[in-house]
Amino acid sequence: MTAPAFDIIIIGGGITGVGIARDAALRGLRVALFEKGDYASGTSSKSSKMVHGGLRYLEHGEIGLVFESVSERRVQTRVAPHLVRPLPFLIPIYKGAKPGFELMNVGLWIYDSLALFRAPRMHKTFRGQRRALEIEPQLKSDGLRGVLEYYDCATDDARLTLENALDARSLGADCRTYTEVTRFERAADGRITGVGIRDRLTGESSIVTARVVVLAAGAW
């Protein structure tokens, strides 16, 4: 039996696909990635442009999800500090608001603690109408009790995707754009053993084999 050409084939050149490719290449695996368009041509260039820890998930008690998200946020700020930058957010608190000032403050302390107090910057509280308006004069003043400031991160999503792809290539991954996967190749027992591909620029077709095929094509 002929050995597979690759350890892993990844279908899709969005942030998920290129992230898998980079991680697999870092581990010494033989990697191929095929993207039918260009890198980040789908969802990965149409995101909120945020790398956030999921503050809103705390309200639903999803502590594990928030911890995972803030941990990954820190990884991104470490490996791509030129692309993942701190972004401040202000939460104005008005009289009668629910959750109120104290509860929101506790929530942000929990958010900071889940980041092991290594968030881009620690949250701050500004109590009282006068102090809040010094921070942001455009806020409505009636009933304003103060503001809370916390940080997540912003990114250039398409560039982050591209740089992951370039890093994967530098580590030996065979990453191809404008290459469409046309079918799965299967063994007699039904296992997927490879894919058929077509170069959308030249029209050339071929078959590529691998031990594992990962579908990361997204919604597009």
pLDDT at 220: 62
Instruction: Give CA–CA dist 133/137, Å, rounded.
Output: 4
- What's the angle, vertex CA 203, arms to CA 201 and CA 208, rounded to 5? 105
Please give the C-alpha separations between residue 195 and each of 2, 72, 121, 185, 209, in angstroms, as whole numbers.
15, 31, 46, 5, 6
User: Same domain, yes or no, for 66 and 27?
Assistant: no
Instruction: Domain of residue 192: give its range.
Output: 6-46+158-215
pLDDT at 119: 78
Output the domain CATH number for residue 17: 3.50.50.60
Domain boundary among the residues 155, 170, 190 is at 155
pLDDT at 2: 60
Domain boundary among the residues 155, 175, 193 is at 155
User: Same domain, yes or no, for 66 and 136?
Assistant: yes
User: What percent of the chain lies above the pLDDT cut of 70?
Assistant: 98
Which tens digits make up the pLDDT trace of 3-19? Answer: 679 999 999 999 999 99
Which tens digits make up the pLDDT trace of 99-131? Answer: 888 999 999 999 999 988 777 888 999 999 999
148 domain-assigned: yes
User: Same domain, yes or no, for 67 and 135?
Assistant: yes
User: Same domain, yes or no, for 207 and 191?
Assistant: yes
User: Same domain, yes or no, for 146 and 71?
Assistant: yes
Determine if the peptide bond prior to 99 is cis (ω within 30°): yes
pLDDT-based confidence at 156, cuts 50/70/90?
very high
Residues with Cβ within 8 Å of 155's Cβ and at least 6 positions away in sequence, in order, are 49, 50, 51, 76, 80, 83, 84, 85
Q: What does pTM read for this prediction? A: 0.86
Count of the separate structural domains present in the chain: 2
Residue 83 φ/ψ, nearest 5 degrees: -115, -20
User: Same domain, yes or no, for 173 and 192?
Assistant: yes
125 domain-assigned: yes
User: Same domain, yes or no, for 27 and 92?
Assistant: no
Which tens digits make up the pLDDT trace of 5-58? Answer: 999 999 999 999 999 999 999 999 999 999 999 999 999 999 999 999 888 898
